Structure 1
Amino acid sequence: MGKYGLLADYLRHAASPVSMTFDEIDHLVGGLPASARRHRAWWANEADGRHVQARAWVQAGWRVGDVSLTQERVRFARASATDA
Structure 2
Amino acid sequence: MSKYDPLSGHLRRQREDELELTFAEIERILGAMLPKGAARQQWWANTTDPHTSHVQRKSWRGAGYDAFLIAGKERVRFKRVR
With normalisation by structure 1, the TM-score equals 0.83
Number of the residue aligned with 2:64: 61
Q: Secondary structure at the match of 1:58?
A: helix
1:78 aligns with 2:43: no
1 or 2 for the larger relative contact order (CA 8 Å, sep ≥6)? 2
The correspondence for 2:38, drawn from 36, 39, 54, is 36
Q: Which consecutive residues of structure 1, in runs of 5 or more, have no partner in the other structure?
A: none
Identity rate, percent: 37
The structure with the largest helix share of the pair is 1
Off by >2 Å, runs of 4+ in structure 1: none
Deviations 1:2-44 (A, max 9, x none): 121100100011122110001111121112101002x110001
**Separation (CA, whole Å) in 2 of partners of 1:55 and 1:12:** 13
With normalisation by structure 2, the TM-score equals 0.85
RMSD: 1.3
